Each structure stands twice: as C-alpha cells, then as structure tokens.
C-alpha cells in the first residue's frame, strides 16, 4: 500500500498524519458530502490521500461511501457550516445527476482516494454497527498553511455563493 501511495504522491516518501476509527451505530447519522482537503491546513497543491478500510461488510443500507468519480480534478468546492462542514446539498444534488457511485465493500476491502474527491456516507439504516478505519497520508515535508488560506480555497466567503 505504501508503494501505491508513494506513486500517487509523485514518487515522494509518504507519512501517515491522521487515523480515525469510523464507527456508525444502528441509526447513526449521515456524513454529508465534503472534500477531506477542506479539513486540512495544507496548501491546495499538497497531495493528500485518504485510505478507508472496511472492517465489516458495508453497503448502502449501513452507510457505505458514495463518491463522485473524477470530480477531484475540479479542485476545491465551497463548503458551508450546515449539518457539518460540507458541500451545499443543492449543489451536490445537481452534480449528482447520474454521476455518483456507491462503493459497497467487503470486510478488509480498501478504498484509496484523493482528498479533493467529493464523498459522503448515508445514515446507517441497518440493525448492526458499521466498522471502518480511515487513514490520511501526505508526502513527507508537506508545508502547513493558516486557516485563512484553507478557507480562501474551501470557504464560501467573498465568492458570491449561498447555500
Ligand atoms: O466513515 C464515514 O462514514 C465517513 C468518513 C468520511 O468521509 C470522513 O471522515 O471524511
């Protein structure tokens, strides 16, 4: 996996900088559509890769990932503080017309995706827990940036956009 991540980071060495247990209990809430990079204080051109590992089988019923394939190439999308720090529902619904895909996975399957890829997970409508782990990697030596720079890219201020 590290070899793959290095390749995705242009051949540079990579380091793990975030790891999270992603547990969704029965009835657990959605994670609205977002780009992970909107949460990280790294300049826009920093390559950040998310690795989402299913620890139990996951599908639409218990909160699998939904993705917009290729949409990471569009760059940053304005985020708003609504139910979460998220892409506006209206905007994403327009983009979704026929383009979103669900990513059902078996326990042990691994999803690797660019941090600018819009994604989210629905509510867990099953009676069981959804178990997953999420890791984030960046190339070693990636510079930090201040909140202002991140919000200039991913925030809505001054862009004449509403939600
Ligand atoms: O595991 C989930 O339900 C959502 C994870 C996610 O998209 C995130 O934390 O960025």
| Residue 51, domain CATH | 2.60.120.620
Asked if residue 160 belongs to a domain, the reply is no
Question: Using an 8 Å Cβ cutoff, are 86 and 80 in contact?
Answer: yes
Question: Tokens 């304005």 — which residue?
Answer: 78
CB of residue 118 inside a 6 A radius of ligand 1: no
Asked if residue 148 belongs to a domain, the reply is yes
Atom of ligand 1 nearest to the CA of 132: 1
Q: Which domain holds residue 60?
A: 2-154
Instruction: Tell me how far the alpha carbon of residue 140 lies from the centroid of ligand 1, in angstroms.
Output: 24
CB of residue 124 inside a 6 A radius of ligand 1: no
Asked if residue 82 belongs to a domain, the reply is yes
CB of residue 121 inside a 6 A radius of ligand 1: yes
* SS3 assignment, position 85: strand
CB of residue 22 inside a 6 A radius of ligand 1: yes
Asked if residue 32 belongs to a domain, the reply is yes
Q: Where are the alpha helices (DSSP H) in 9-146?
A: 89-96
What residues have CB less than 8 Å from 150, skipping those under 6 apart?
A: 38, 40, 41, 42
Asked if residue 125 belongs to a domain, the reply is yes
Asked if residue 162 belongs to a domain, the reply is no
Q: What is the pTM of this model?
A: 0.96
Question: Using an 8 Å Cβ cutoff, are 96 and 68 in contact?
Answer: yes
CB of residue 130 inside a 6 A radius of ligand 1: no
Report which secondary-structure segment, H or E, holds 113: strand 110-114
Asked if residue 163 belongs to a domain, the reply is no
- Which phi and psi (to 5°) does residue 51 adopt? -125, 115
The tens-digit pLDDT sequence of the chain (163 residues) is 999 999 999 999 999 999 999 999 999 999 999 999 999 999 999 999 999 999 999 999 999 999 999 999 999 999 999 999 999 999 998 888 889 999 999 999 999 999 999 999 999 999 999 999 999 999 999 999 999 999 999 999 999 999 9
Instruction: Specify the number of domains making up the chain.
Output: 1
Asked if residue 142 belongs to a domain, the reply is yes
């Amino acid at each position: 996996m590290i070899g793959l991540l290095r390749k995705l980071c242009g051949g540079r060495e990579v380091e793990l900088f975030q790891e999270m247990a992603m547990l969704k209990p029965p009835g657990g809430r959605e994670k609205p559509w977002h780009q992970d990079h909107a949460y990280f204080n790294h300049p826009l051109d920093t390559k950040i890769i998310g690795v989402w590992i299913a620890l139990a089988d996951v599908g639409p019923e218990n909160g699998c990932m939904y993705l917009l394939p290729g949409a990471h190439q569009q760059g940053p999308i304005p985020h708003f503080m609504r139910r979460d720090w998220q892409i506006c529902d209206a905007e994403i619904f327009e983009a979704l017309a026929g383009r979103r895909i669900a990513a059902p996975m078996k326990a042990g399957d691994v999803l690797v995706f660019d941090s600018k890829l819009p994604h989210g997970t629905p509510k867990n409508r099953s009676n069981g827990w959804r178990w997953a782990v999420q890791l984030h990697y960046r190339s070693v030596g990636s510079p930090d940036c201040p909140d202002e720079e991140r919000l200039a890219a991913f925030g809505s201020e001054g862009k004449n956009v509403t939600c």
